[in-house]
Amino acid sequence: MSLLVNAVFWIAVIGSVTSTIYCMMVLVAAIRFGMRRRREDHDARASVFLPPVSVLKPLHGTEDGLERNLETFFEQDYPAFELLFCARHESDAGFQLAQEVGRRYPHVDAKFVTCGEPPPQFHNAKVFSLAKMDSVARHELYITSDADARVTPDYLRKMVQNLKDPKVGLASSIYLGTLHRGSSARLSSHLDAVGKSVEMSSGVMVADMIEGTKFALGVTMAVRKRSFVEAGGFEELGQFYADDFVLGNRLAMRGTGVLLATHVIRLLVEDTPFSVSFRNQLRWMQSTRRSRPWGHLGSGLTFAMPFGVLGFVWGLLSGHPGLGAVWLLAMVVNRWVQAGTVLKVMGDSEWVRGMLLYPLRDLLGSLLWLGSYGGDRFYYRGQTYRLRDGGRVEAP
């Protein structure tokens, strides 16, 4: 029994130390990001760099909040841009909704194209849609965006500033997970949203601070047309589930500038049951494990709550329940500090709610991390896929 108690103690100690070190790194990285954000916001307002851009938006079906998401792209305060929407078929509900929204903004240059079903080599249908829009886009600078992105009127103006330097080939944004149904949404959706806001953003800020940005976040990107060619072309990128990571990583390895943009957007999170939410988040964890195997393995030591729970268990087993409770509370405070700082820096007006929820999300995140090692298959939009080494996808 003493051997088990000692093992629990030392595992809890090691994990508590590493997660606390990580928390301190997040604090420094978040403050650094916030300073950059204030400086670049000021520069964007005064900038005269406003080249024409093509906005590429792949669509597939509809979801809560999509109509308002689309409207925000038609309401951009920018002198010259075109909006391109692409779905597989004209009967697609999201495609039809985009056309309906477009009719309310006749002054905006919007085009609606279809690409059909992707061929076998395009396991990533989103990339197939991007390839179609690339073939009809008029401009050399692109802003790509997922359907669940919601933006402010100055979005294009701020994102395009990242491409002012011709050596920069891509910049992507972090995002605040936002619930369409607000406080009435399920707890599972609240945990998903705060995970997207804090867990994802923390890792990205720290990585950018330590080694620069060697990846991309596909929710929204400012990217040059030629960057897709430099990264291998659409057919190559279409073989990966995490095409955004591969695109940014390959550009960085070639010496092309890849930036973390300081403009923060909102990512709408659907209100789904826990089983669906868990499956969706697990899919991303599985993809990360394949794309960045060693980095993903090390991320297991950045979680705090599982080690706080182990510390509490050690307290019960060793006859020190009070000390165990203090240990658990210390890890809760650890996650509160991390979440509160990140959400404040990103400009979340409801940062207190997210901060209070984050310890529970951190515990869930550790379970998702463990689950990512459980298999190589995932279900997505009616099809089962298999993940291979490097993040390539194949249909079994």
The domain spanning residue 278 has which CATH number? 3.90.550.10
Give which of 337, 326, 327 is closest to 359, Cα–Cα. Answer: 337
For residue 205, the model assigns a pLDDT of: 97
Instruction: Say how many domains are in the chain.
Output: 1
pLDDT exceeds cutoff 80 at 269? yes
pTM of the model: 0.92
Give which of 270, 274, 295, 275 is closest to 285, Cα–Cα. Answer: 295
* pLDDT (tens digit per residue) in 344-366: 999 999 999 999 999 999 999 99
Q: Out of 63-77, 205-219, 273-287, which region has the weakest mean confidence (pLDDT)?
A: 273-287
pLDDT band at 381 (very low <50, low <70, confident <90, very high): low
Contact (CB, 8 A) for 169 and 227: yes
* pLDDT (tens digit per residue) in 291-305: 888 888 899 999 999
Give which of 264, 97, 93, 266 is closest to 179, Cα–Cα. Answer: 266
pLDDT band at 122 (very low <50, low <70, confident <90, very high): confident
Give the domain range for residue 98.
2-394
Q: Which residues contact 262 (CB under 8 A, 6 or more apart)?
A: 33, 36, 37, 40, 41
Contact (CB, 8 A) for 259 and 165: no
Q: Please calculate the CA angle 204-206-209 and round it to the nearest 5 degrees.
A: 110
pLDDT band at 374 (very low <50, low <70, confident <90, very high): confident
Return the number of other C-beta atoms located less than 10 Å from residue 395's C-beta. Answer: 9
* pLDDT (tens digit per residue) in 324-346: 999 999 999 999 999 999 999 99
Return the number of other C-beta atoms located less than 10 Å from residue 51's C-beta. Answer: 13
Return the bridge partners of 224, or none: 141
pLDDT band at 134 (very low <50, low <70, confident <90, very high): very high
pLDDT exceeds cutoff 90 at 142? yes
